[in-house]
Amino acid sequence: MPLLTKAKQRTVISALRDSNVRDIEQNYNEPAKLWCNEKWITAACLRCSDQRCIRYIDAEISCGSFSDFPYERNLNVCPVDAIKWNFEKELPEIENGKCIGCGLCAARCPVGAIFKADNKMKVSAPESDDYIDLPINYENLVKHKYFVQEVDKIYWNHQFQKESDRIMEEIYEKISHYDGRSMVPNVLVRNLIIALNHECAISRAGDIYTRMDAVYSSKIKPKCSGVVEIEFGRDTLEASRGILDDIAVMHSRNNLGKKDNAALVVCLSFPNKRQGYFQVIKDIHRVLDLKIQTISLGALLLLVWNGAAVNFLSREFYVDFDNLSIRGITEFRLNRHVLLSEGKLGILEPEK
């Protein structure tokens, strides 16, 4: 009979000695700085009890606007499961060999303690006298939760990393190892949309009845919702047709009118003109008066890395045969120029 082993348990959480945080700033590839008690303090892991850099709660991976949508219950923040809790160090630990560099764990940290430097993901540990470890008990957990809620109210720009052609090439090369049988692309897209302050749910693996890959709705006003078609392969033309099926099904099953459905196609790279995708999108707009938005994985990454505010209601990511670029709207949302070559990996416009 095997011996029973004691389950590993958390013992401490961390907190600032002075919890009066007034501002947060972050420079690319560095942990954030917290303005507290008239000085800047380097952000460090708070050892949150809910480990929000590692997993979601169920309410975050469902979509309230579509309560009957049968959704995938994968709670992992990291789509490739590269971040886990180290019980000995009492810190999250990132396996850089598995990491794809999406920055989702960093976007979830309330104080910006997860960062990328020297091409590796790192977690800033609470080693200075500005932090104190507290034993896990009811009183400390309540205080800790309240502190995190107050910090969440502070508006600051997450500046995870500054993009480059090389960085995007590395990420796209790692993503290319996951084919259509893997749930990694869909989980990645779901989590990026969640990071942009939206609810998003993806259909379950093997579910052929649901039709659409995902549904989403915004948490911010003005409210919007819609269906999502995810295509990381070469069949983007099929995605443009499939999104019409999704819109029809959502109207029939959920009474979501086509005008209220801010439908979205998420692709790995923009297709070129010759593939016909953008002509179909233009025809749909001309004949049905529907603006189907198209956004690439790389563009979603850029928006998340910079903590950008996005609302798909205005259909600002609509592109068709006559306008093939989302560079302008992406730069508007980032409030700066994007440091990617024109056509690079089809991220903001089709490859040359």
Given a cut of 70, whether residue 6 has pLDDT beyond it is no
For residue 288, tell me if it sits in a domain.
yes
Task: Determine the 3-state secondary structure of 113 from DSSP.
Answer: coil
Picking from 228, 224, 257, the residue whose alpha carbon sits closest to that of residue 242 is 228
Find out whether 135 and 312 touch, Cβ atoms under 8 Å. Answer: no
- Per-residue pLDDT of 264-306, as tens digits, reads 999 999 998 888 899 999 999 999 999 999 999 999 999 999 9
314 with 247, same domain: the answer is yes
Sign of CA dihedral 11, 14, 19, 25: negative
Q: Which domain holds residue 342?
A: 165-346
Q: Does residue 7 form part of some domain?
A: no
Both 334 and 269 in a single domain?
yes
Task: Kindly state whether residue 4 falls inside one of the protein's structural domains.
Answer: no
Whether 124 maps to a domain, the answer reads yes
Tell whether 131 and 210 lie within a shared domain.
no
The per-residue b/e assignment along 292-301, b for 16 or more CB within 10 angstroms, e otherwise, is bbbbbbbbbb
Q: What is the pTM of this model?
A: 0.94
Contact indicator for 314, 139 with CB cutoff of 8 Å:
no
Q: Are residues 206 and 315 in the same domain?
A: yes
Q: What is the pLDDT of residues 145-186, one digit of tens each?
A: 999 999 999 988 888 999 999 999 999 999 999 877 889 999
Paired residues of 244 in beta bridges: none
**Does the pLDDT of residue 326 top 90, yes or no?**
yes
Residue 188 domain-assigned?
yes
The average pLDDT across 237-243 equals: 88
Residues 163 and 116: their CA atoms lie apart, in Å, by: 12
> Is the same domain home to 132 and 50?
yes
Same domain, 174 and 302: yes
In a domain, 64, yes or no: no
| Pick from 179, 308, 282: nearest CA to 235 | 179
User: 3-class DSSP state for residue 198?
Assistant: strand
Domain shared by 193 and 141, yes or no: no
Of 100, 117, 152, the domain-final residue: 152
Going 232 to 233 to 235 to 237, the CA torsion angle's sign is: positive
Range of weakest confidence among 96-100, 121-125, 222-226, 298-302: 222-226
Locus of tokens 């693996």: 205
> What phi, psi does 254 have (nearest 5°)?
-120, 5
If one counts the domains in the chain, the total is 2
Instruction: List the CATH number of the domain containing 211.
Output: 3.40.91.50
